[in-house]
Structure 1
């Protein structure tokens, strides 16, 4: 049964929080947006730093629980609404692979991409959190080849995380648009909820810029 506890998503448009909002919509979950105008510095306000001292979105509260970090939020919410079918059950054979790919993004993909973009060496193999950039990309592309989604025909919350991430990474040319990546992003962006939230984000971002300019 859906939870009766309130869910609040701390949110700014065109951020990692966008994917969490899409997930909530896909889950059919009731939630409230607590919008922060980053252009006006609201994510650095004392009130929000009390929620997340890093000053970053997304963050959610669910009753008395506070959850930050993308992988944790996606996992938490998808498990909270099992009737939506976006999280494999604990005894499902793909539960382990699902968790692997839910956390591979933050643990390996983002550090690898940032190091590559900043033209930094990943460090010694024993110290690097991801190994090598090429190794990360090879693992991703091999998984996407099982398509159409990360786990064949089965669409999960992990696909919402990766679909949103790869949409941004390809748009900014931070990862090569190999055919499996390009096809995966196209399928993700064709989802009606994705298009609707992206349009809402564009409108909200414009409003925030105008408000910040007015002071």
Structure 2
């Protein structure tokens, strides 16, 4: 039995965490949960009472939320070299949490048809959708990877947001986004993770 257990569904944000685990090169056990049943029942509710995936349990400690899982794995498995160097640290944390906060909120609200008024933009953490997308475009176009010239755990999370946005049409097609996605999807870790999740989907069909 591995020291880390990964709880997921291949049609969820669990794909982000799977990618991170594959990049980290960690040995892990996988528990696939169903939205309608096992995700909302014990024993999983004791792992994550939010009844959402993904989650990991490593040496008896639970981590939920994809951005947190990415950051945790980078620190817990330093041999993979996915954490930030000193010169990368500011951009690493800035864009990791920008993706988990403003990007996630702006894209979700737009998908739900929620458009804050000018007055309401002062209340929401992202301001307005167009500005968030423009800032993200500048960030991914400034360097080959989000924190500089080297792939880090922040790219797993930021990159997944961009990939989902391009795949589902929740972000506009722009050259900087497409080039960034191409660099990320060429990685062996990404391909392994995608193949594992796609195999689970195919087996259940």
Q: Normalised by the size of structure 2, how large is the TM-score?
A: 0.91
After TM superposition, give the deviation of residue 120 of structure 1 in Å: 0.8
CA distance in 2, matches of 1:28, 1:199: 15
Alpha-carbon separation, structure 2, partners of 1:17 and 1:73:
10
Quote the offset at 1:20 in angstroms: 1.3
DSSP 3-state at the match of 1:145 = helix
Question: Contact 1:27–1:81 at 8 Å: present in 2 too?
Answer: yes
Task: Report the equivalent of 1:37.
Answer: 34
Instruction: Find out whether 1:206 has 2:178 as its counterpart.
Output: no
- Paired residues of 1:112 and 1:122 also in contact (CA < 8 A): no
Question: In structure 1, what is the Cα distance between the partners aligned to 2:129 and 2:164?
Answer: 18
TM-aligned CA deviation for residue 146 of structure 1: 1.3
2:2 matches 1:8: no
Q: 1:119 aligns with which of 113, 128, 139?
A: 113
Paired residue for 1:174? 170
Q: Are 1:52 and 2:48 matched, yes or no?
A: yes
Q: CA deviation at 1:83?
A: 2.0
Deviating runs (4+, > 4 A) in structure 1?
none
In 1: Cα distance, 2:114 partner to 2:11 partner: 26
What's the RMSD between the two structures over aligned residues?
1.7
Distance in 2 separating the partners of 1:126 and 1:164: 27
Match of 2:141 in 1: 145
TM-score (norm 1): 0.87
Unaligned runs of 5+ in 1: 211-215
2:22 and 2:192 in contact (8 A); partners too: no
Count the aligned residue pairs: 202
Which residue is 1:213 aligned to? none
Could you say what secondary structure the match of 2:100 adopts? helix
